A and B are shown apart, each in its own frame.
Chain A
Amino acid sequence: MLMTERERCAAEIRALADKLGHNRTSLVPILLEVKRKYHHINSYAMQVIGDLLGIHPVEVHSVVSFYAFLGERHQGRFVIRLCRTISCDMQGKDRVMRQLENDLGIRFGQTTADGSFTLEWANCMGMCDQGPALLVNDRIFTRVTPEKVHEILEECRRVFGVHAAESKEVHLV
């Protein structure tokens, strides 16, 4: 990672901590914001956060590795989480899974080469009466059919604009 990128990353995390607090109680909110913005949480970011909150980076890592919505791995701009729990399972989540994999050319747990989409499983997300359900980042879609998968992906591409650059986005590698 370039020095300038590091500096920018550290400055942004510092601003986050100023906003959310410099205590350990702010750790999860800060990590969620970092993940949302950078789509991953790398070891440099964990060191900066540990330093700001006065805890060892290993402590930060222990939290990052615990929660499903955190994690170090690089994810796409759109993280698609398909519910795999019983009610959605009975309502045909397997077919939705197959169609997602077919349309994106990746398997669950993977990210598309252009960094746009990640496919993940989710455990029950409280849409059991309207399954199969999936989340695209924070947006919920219910009664998803294999046919609707294409529409959802197109809407991501169109409305959020994979090619319309988010001006502030920085890729930390």
Chain B
Amino acid sequence: MNSIPTYCAQIPEAGLRAALRQDRPEIIGKISASGLKGRGGAGFPTAVKWNFAAAAQAERKFIICNADEGEPGTFKDRVILMEHPDLVFEGMTIAGKAVGAREGILFLRGEYTYLRSALEETLAKRRRCNLLGKTILGSPLEFDIRIFIGAGAYICGEETALIECLEGFRGEPRNRPPFPVNTGYLGYPSVVNNVETLAWAACILANGPQWFKSVGTEKSTGRKIFSISGDCRRPGVYEFPLGITVAQLLQEVDGADARAVQIGGASGQCVPARDFARTIAFEDIPTGGSVIVFGPQRDMLDMLHNFLEFFTDESCGQCAPCRLGNAKLLEGVEMLQAGSCSMAYLKELCGLGETMQVASKCGLGQSSPSAFLSVVEHFREEIMGRTLNRRG
């Protein structure tokens, strides 16, 4: 089966060995043919990213693995890093070869500091086995990886904010363009990829693009690792082909009585039960892997309140739509909870949400109103005219 565990049960480092036999365009061609898209949520084609960085002329280039997994309800990268760290480092090394980078950085979120010692051991072991260093497996390829620990900021999952943090600044996203593939860490071309993306890249190099794209949909090829939590009997990390329907997924995790599912974390969208036939794929409901299940007893306003508190806290404060908008939406949810929000004001709040989607500088502010807007759209009946504040 074309999954990460089956790949790991095969010959170790098959992906890296295959990459060493190929030149750069061949490697990028394989990734391109597989249709692999960024697994962090944005879904940008990985091959395009690699290609830009490969084409850039520079003395130094960087491969940065984004392990700043902060999206509410996401924990798959933690599990990948705990169970298959070699695969991620293998993927980074392949990316290094494809792009012409000699330096890799694993940006590990501060909350995952406890993973560090095991990861450092894995890196040391790889250096001993000649899988990192100056002449990897006897080839002229030079590549090494170091670990950088984050300091607790959700926004650093955004690639330019992550680079700001690496450079010793506040994690405030930059204007794009220029993109990191041209002007990234210290001004050098840098590829920032999600943990899972790099893991898949290694699998694809070993088994070929066909192996990967034999499942999934036309626009969303391959399998995806999901982090499933909330009101279901079997929460945890799952691997499903993209294009799976919400209903199928709920059946697998034994959460079929759900009234709604939040897909894509706090910045994703809320899917009500009547839409459970929709598919999880970049062309329908995109996700970085977070699926939070809400059972029949849940109040959607409680959920929104939690998400907007999160965004109000984690907004970097750099641009006004996000800094002020999230606070206004939170206030609006509190009014709805207290039953003191008029329909006219609710419409204004929706207008504000739409403004945030277009006017915010980075993905945080652009996506933070999604949950609010989808709850207002799908659960209007139950959020209006509250007679008591259920939160007490």
Contacts and interface: CB of A to CB of B under 8 A. Distances in A.
Contact of B229 (A23, A128, A140): A128
Interface residues of B, number: 51
Contact of B153 (A68, A89, A129): A68
Interface size class of A (residues with CB under 8 A): 35 or more
Contacts of B168: 23-28, 53, 63
Contacts of A23: 168
B149 interface: yes
A162 interface: no
B229 A131 contact: yes
Interface stretch (A7-15, A96-104, A117-125, A153-161): A117-125
Interface in B227-270: 227-231, 235-237, 262, 266
Nearest to A65: B170
Given A25-B167, A63-B168, A86-B303, A32 B74 contact: no
A27 B169 CA distance: 8
A87 B229 contact: yes
A86 to B, nearest CB: 5
Chain A: interface secondary structure?
Answer: mixed
Contacts of A63: 168-170
Contact of A128 (B152, B165, B235, B309): B235
Interface string A136-153: 001110000000000000
Interface of B: 69-75, 77-78, 109-114, 148-154, 165-171, 186, 227-231, 235-237, 262, 266, 292, 298, 302-303, 306-307, 309-310, 313-314, 316
26 contacts: A25-B167, A25-B168, A27-B168, A28-B150, A28-B151, A32-B110, A63-B170, A66-B171, A66-B316, A67-B110, A67-B150, A67-B171, A69-B110, A85-B306, A86-B72, A86-B262, A86-B306, A87-B230, A90-B231, A122-B152, A124-B74, A126-B75, A127-B75, A128-B75, A128-B235, A135-B111
